[in-house]
Amino acid sequence: MPMLNTATKTEAPGTEQELTDGFHLVIDALKLNGIDTVYGVPGIPITDLGRMAQAAGIRVLSFRHEQNAGYAAAIAGFLTKKPGVCLTVSAPGFLNGLTALAHATTNCFPMILVSGSSEREIVDLQQGDYEEMDQLAIAKPLCKAAFRVLHAQDIGIGFARAIRAAVSGRPGGVYLDLPAKLFSQVMNAEAGQRSLVKVIDAAPAQIPAPSAVKRALDVLKGAKRPLIILGKGAAYAQADDAIRSFVEKSGAPFLQMSMAKGLLPDTHPQSAGAARSTVLKDADVVMLIGARLNWLLSHGKGKTWGDAPKKFIQVDIEPKEMDSNVEIAAPLVGDIGSCVTALLEGMGGNWPAPPADWTTKVNAKRDENVAKMAPKLMSNASPMDYHGALGVLRTIIKERPDAIFVNEGANTLDLARGVIDMYQPRKRLDVGTWGVMGIGMGYAIAAAVETGKPVLAVEGDSAFGFSGMEIETICRYDLPVCVVVFNNDGIYRGTDTNSAGADPATTVFVKGARYDKMIEAFGGVGVNATSPDELKRAVNAAMDSGKPTLINAVIDPAAGSESGRIGNLNPQSVLKKK
Ligand code: OXT
Ligand code: ADP
Ligand code: MG
C-alpha cells in the first residue's frame, strides 16, 4: 500500500487523530490504481484537487478547453489500455467534456470524466445553485456507466467501479460525479485508507469457446478469396505479435482500418490497403478483427461489397456486435489477444495458403494503384496540392516510424490516410468512428505525454480551428509536437463564393491566413511553407529539435473536393437554385 496522502488535525487534547478528506482520498484512489496523469481545466470546485494532485506527484495537464482535455484523456486510454482521466468543473465545464466522453464511448476507448458538481439538495429542488445541473442524468445515455459519490468513505469504491467499467469488456467512457461538498468531508485516515480499492485484473481475459475457434477456422479454411480486416480494436488490444503471426500464417490479404494502420506495416506484402475496392467486392470470406461493420465499412452490404455471396467471421469482445448489420457466420467472442492466440494454436503447423489466383489479383491491383499514385507524390507545385505536400510527409514518417501521426480534416484526412504508410501499431490517431473535427491538439498533447515520442499533427485549417488554442498548452508544457496546418482557405476548398450578398461563403475563411503566427505568440516556432521543399525542411527541423512548431502549409484553395472521400454522404437538394 503506498504512503497515504493524509492531513493531520488536532482535536480535543488527548484525542489527536490522523485525518484525511475527500481531496486526499480522490488522489490516493488514482495513485493506488496507477493513474499518474490527469487532463483537465481547473475551477470551482476542483481547483485545489488539481493543485494537490500535482503536489502529490500526479501529472496534471491544464488545458484551455475541457473538450480538448477530454479528447486527450480518450486517446490516452486508447494508447495505454488504462482509463484516461479528464477533470472538469460543474455544468459548463462538464458539458464541454461530455462530447469527448461520448466520443470515447463511441470509439471504445476507456476514459473517465470526473466532474465536480453542485449540491444535490439544491440541484434536485432546482433552487438555482452555482452551476446547477443534474449532471449524472445528462451523462448517462452518453457513456458506458455513470456513478456519483456522496460520502468520502465511498470514494475508493466509486473509482474502482469507474475504472473497471471503463476497461473491462468493450472499453468505453465512464462518468464520475463528485459533488463539491465531498471534497472537504473529513474522516479517519486509517479508515480512509481501508476504504480504497486497488482494482485487481480490471480487464479480465475473455477466452473464446473452443467450438467457436474451430468454426472460425473452418470458415476461413474454406475460403477461396479470404480477406482479413483489422480495426482499431485490434490496435487497442496490444496483441501485436500474435496478430502479425496470425495474418502471416493465414497468407490472406489484409486491410487495416484507419487507426489500425501500422499494426502490420502498410508496405507488408499481404497488405491490400491500396486495393480496397477490389478486396471488399471480391472476397468470399471476410474476417473482422476488432472492426465493426458500421458506415466505414458500408454496413457489410451494397455496392461496395459487390454481388458475390460472402461469409463473415467476426472477432470481438462484445457479443451484441454480432449480426448488427449482416449475418455473422462465425462469431468469435473474446478478447483479441486470447482469440488470436487460440486461432494460431488451432491452425497447427500446416495452414494452406489462399489460392494464388486471388492473391495475385489483389497484389496486381494494389501495385497498379501504388504506381498510379507515385508521380502525384512528386508534385512540386506552389501553392502545394495535397499529394505534393503529403508526398514529403510520407517520406518523413518512413524515416521516423516511431513518431505519432495525428490527422484530421476532410481532404487532409482522407488523402493522408492513403498516402502516408504507417509502420508501427498505434501510431496513427485520427477522427475515428464519428469523423469528428477537434481531436487534433488534445490527441497530440496526450500522445506526446503518454508515449514520450515526437508527434506530427497534420490538420485541415478548419479542423485545426476546433482546438487551435491548445497550441499555448503545447508551448507551456514544451511538448515535441509539430503541427502542420493544410491551409486551403476553408472547409474542403477555399473557392466558394456567396452569390447573394457581401458575407463570405459559408465554407471559406480569411484568405492567406498565417496560422504560423499564432504559435509565435507563445514562444513556439512558426514557419510559412509554400512548397514541398520548404515543408520538408521545416518538419524535419521541428522533429529534430522537438520544439513546439506550427507550419502553415499553403495549399491550393481549389485542390480539395467537397467532403473529401465521403461526398456520397452529403445530401444534395433536388430543387433548382433560385
Ligand atoms: O481501391 P480503390 O480504387 O477504391 O482506391 C482506394 C484505395 O485502394 C487507394 N489507396 C491507395 N492507392 C495508392 N497507394 C496507396 N498507398 C493507397 N492506399 C489506399 O485509395 C483509395 C481510397 O482509399 P481509402 O481511403 O482506404 O478508401 P475509401 O474508399 O475512402 O474508404 C472509405 C472510408 C469511409 C473508410 C474512408 O473514406 C474513411 O475512413 N473516411 C473517413 C472520413 C471522415 O471521417 N471524414 C471526416 C468528416 S468529414 C465532415 O464531416 C467535416 N466537417 C463537419 C464537422 C465534423 N466532422 N465534426 C464536427 C465536430 N463539426 C463539423 C468539417 C467541418 S470535415 C470538416 C472540415 C474540413 O475542412 P478542413 O480544412 O479541415 O480539411 P480540408 O478538406 O483539407 O479543407
Ligand atoms: P474501426 O473503426 O477501426 O473499424 P471499430 O471502432 O469500429 O474499429 O471497432 C472496434 C471493435 O473492437 C469494437 O467492436 C470493440 O468491441 C472491439 N474491441 C475493442 N477492444 C477489444 C479487445 N481487447 N478485444 C476484442 N475486441 C475489442
Ligand atoms: Mg481546409
Q: What is the torsional sign of CA 113, 115, 120, 124?
A: negative
- State the distance from the centre of ligand 3 to the C-alpha of 436, rounded, in angstroms: 15
C-alpha of 25 from chain center: 30
Q: Which atom of ligand 1 approaches the CA of 297 most closely?
A: 35
Burial of residue 174 (CB within 10 Å: 0-12, 13-18, 19+) is buried
Fold of 378-562: Rossmann fold (3.40.50)
- Pick the residue whose CA is nearest to atom 76 on ligand 1: 492
Hey, what CATH class is 210-363 in? alpha beta
Distance CA 410, CA 386 (A): 11
- What pLDDT, on the 0 to 100 scale, is given for residue 5? 57
Q: Please, are residues 4 and 26 in contact by the beta-carbon 8 Å criterion?
A: no
Q: Which of 420, 437, 487 has most ligand 1 atoms within 8 Å of CB, for mutation?
A: 437
- Answer whether 449's CB lies under 8 Å from 40's CB: no
pLDDT at 416: 98
Q: Measured in whole angstroms, how far is the alpha carbon of residue 294 from the centre of its chain?
A: 17
Q: Indicate the domain borders of the chain.
A: 7-195, 210-363, 378-562
Q: What is the pLDDT of residue 308?
A: 85
List the one residue out of 244, 239, 246 whose CA is nearest residue 217.
Answer: 246
Distance, CA 4 to ligand 1 centroid (Å)?
Answer: 49
DSSP characters over 469-492? GGHHHHHHTT--EEEEEEE-SBSS
Per-residue pLDDT of the chain (578 residues; tens, 9 = 90+): 444 555 555 556 667 899 999 999 999 999 999 999 999 999 999 999 999 999 999 999 999 999 999 999 999 999 999 999 999 999 999 999 999 999 999 999 999 999 999 999 999 999 999 999 999 999 999 999 999 999 999 999 999 999 999 999 999 999 999 999 999 999 999 999 999 999 999 999 999 999 999 999 999 999 999 999 999 999 999 999 999 999 999 999 999 999 999 999 999 999 999 999 999 999 999 999 999 999 999 999 999 999 989 999 999 999 999 999 999 999 999 999 999 999 999 999 999 999 999 999 999 999 999 999 999 999 999 999 999 999 999 999 999 999 999 999 999 999 999 999 999 999 999 999 999 999 999 999 999 999 999 999 999 999 999 999 999 999 999 999 999 999 999 999 999 999 999 999 999 999 999 999 999 999 999 999 999 999 999 999 999 999 999 999 999 999 999 999 999 999 999 886 55
**Which atom number of ligand 2 is nearest to the Cα of residue 432?**
2
- Identical topology for domains 7-195 and 210-363: yes
- Closest-CA residue, ligand 1 atom 3, reads 277
- In this prediction, residue 15 carries a pLDDT of 72
Q: Whose CA is nearest to atom 23 of ligand 1?
A: 418
Whole-number pLDDT of residue 323: 98
Ligand nearest to the CA of 314: 2
- Which CATH number is 7-195 given? 3.40.50.970
Residue 100 to residues 45, 434, 435, Cα–Cα distance (Å): 21, 11, 13
- List pocket residues of ligand 2, CB cut-off 6 Å: 107-108, 170-171, 231-233, 236-237, 257, 259-260, 290-292, 294, 296, 316-318, 321, 335-336, 433
